[in-house]
Amino acid sequence: MNRWPFLIALCVFGLLSRASCLAAPTGAVDLGQNLTYLRIRRLPDDLPALKTAWSKAALILDLRRTLGDGGKDLADVLPTRPAPTPLFVLVGPDTPADVFAALRTRAPALITLGLPAPGLKPDIAPAVKPEDDRRAYDALDAGTSIESLINEKPLGKRFDEAALVHERARDAIDADAARADVNGPPDRGAQVAAPVGDAGVHAAPAAQQAEPKDIVLQRAVQLHRAFLALGKLPRS
């Protein structure tokens, strides 16, 4: 029996399964505390997902890289959101003007966050470079978790093997100096230890590039949490 076709099929299945695990979420994402995030990649393809998420109490819509033409469809199929329910819309230079205009007519409590663009002045414009914003946006599609993109991690002091060698060498020099102060100057014939320098000690490897942070999305989440803390929104 020839097992090669079976083995090949098994390998292909494994690769496809791995790719599906790393793929970015295509539907709505629960960010906790009654907040939902939805990235609109293309319209009208993503219209069903938008219609489903539209009734959420607090919603973040990401329109920074939306493709397609679906403004007129939105105006026809989306009901008006109640005024107290916030709609956070992430925008940028690539946000379709017709889509944004349609959402504005359907969401009285719409708040925009993102990079300014001709004809588009966000309500909140975080200090972020366009290339950093694009890198953070692409990171989600590349498999980075949304929690990693919006949560800050405390940074501790880096202390690797090379740093440990330097630390011990410095302690040895300090000990020699202390003994010299107590015992007086060394004899002229005594061998003087060579100063410890960088020779023979491997330099610490360069710091790895910091994980991308989606500052625009992060600000939207923080704003939602602030509304909650002020009692402006229901918690469930």
Structure confidence by residue, pLDDT tens digits, 41-95: 999 999 999 999 999 989 999 999 999 877 878 888 999 998 888 999 999 999 9
Ordered structural domains, the chain, with CATH? 24-144+212-229 (3.90.226.10), 159-182+196-211 (no CATH)
Quote the crossing angle between the two packed helices 215-229 and 130-141, to the nearest 10°.
80
Give the amino acid at 11: C
Please state whether the predicted TM-score (pTM) of the whole model is above 0.95. Answer: no
Mean pLDDT on 30-35: 94
User: From the centroid of its chain, how far is CA 151?
Assistant: 7
Q: Over the stretch 133-152, which tens digit does the pLDDT of each residue have?
A: 999 999 999 999 999 999 86
156-180 confidence digits (pLDDT tens)? 444 455 554 555 556 555 555 555 5
Check whether 6 has a pLDDT greater than 90: no
Report whether pLDDT(127) > 50: yes
